[in-house]
Amino acid sequence: MKNKYKIIILGITIVIIFILFLRVLNSNKTYQPNQMIGKKIPEFILEDLLNKNTKLDSNILSGKDFAILNIWASWCIPCRIEHPFLMDLKDKNQINIIGLNYKDESMNAKNFLKKYGNPYSLIGIDKKGEVAIQLGAYGVPETYVLKRGKIIFKHIGPLNEDAVNKILELKK
């Protein structure tokens, strides 16, 4: 009888250890880009690139029903690839796009917009890249879709047709 109990307890212990190991084995061990999804956009106030008297305040974003926040820089080659997608989102789909100019020279950024067009309604200057870290970004370009100030989707890397379709779907 005693032996029977021992076997049962041993069996239960093995099963518990097995479940614990299985949990750890299946847990996510890579960078989780979805960490910020569902969270409110962090608070920040930045100077606007094109108008010194205007500020990009994160509270403005909280008031918007649907907006895109795009992290870009003039020195970033993939940003040039995604730029036509941003122009289309603005011109064809009337989506409000806000830019975050990441560790850039203002002159170069302005020249970039002159050459490729300006899809942004406001552009915050993130000279030290601190706001990008607040947003959980780790490079350029990155795009956040915001609904009433809440991050509902994030795309890492240059926008492509799939990402644009996803954004348009989210807007519906």
Partner 1 sequence: MKKFIFIIIFFILSSNVFSANEELKNKIYKNIRCIVCQGQSIYESNSDFAIDLKKLISKKLDNGENEKQIYEFLISRYGEWIVFNPGLNLNSLALWLLPLLIFMIGGFLIFRLNNKEKK
Cβ-based neighbours of 69, under 8 Å, separated by 6 or more: 41, 61, 97, 98, 99, 100, 135, 143, 144, 146
Task: Among 32, 51, 108, 160, indicate the residue that binds partner 1 (CB under 8 A).
Answer: 32
Q: Smallest distance from the beta carbon of 11 to partner 1, in angstroms?
A: 15
Residue 118-147 contact track with partner 1, rule CB under 8 A, x = bound? ----------xxx-xxxxx-xx--------
* Between 21 and 65, CB nearer to partner 1: 21
Q: Does 114 bind partner 1 (CB under 8 A)?
A: no
Q: Does 2 bind partner 1 (CB under 8 A)?
A: no
Q: Does 21 bind partner 1 (CB under 8 A)?
A: yes
End-to-end CA distance of the chain: 66
Tokens representing 118 are 């300006």
Q: Does 91 bind partner 1 (CB under 8 A)?
A: no
The rounded distance, in Å, linking the Cα atoms of 48 and 139 is 20
Degrees, nearest 5: CA angle 118-119-123:
80
Q: Does 151 bind partner 1 (CB under 8 A)?
A: no
Contact 69, 144 (CB under 8 A): yes
Task: Among 1, 4, 30, 107, indicate the residue that binds partner 1 (CB under 8 A).
Answer: 30
Q: Smallest distance from the beta carbon of 138 to partner 1, in angstroms?
A: 5
C-beta atoms surrounding 56 within 10 Å = 25
The rounded distance, in Å, linking the Cα atoms of 157 and 85 is 13
The residues binding partner 1 (CB under 8 A) are: 17, 20-21, 23-24, 27-32, 35-36, 103, 128-130, 132-136, 138-139
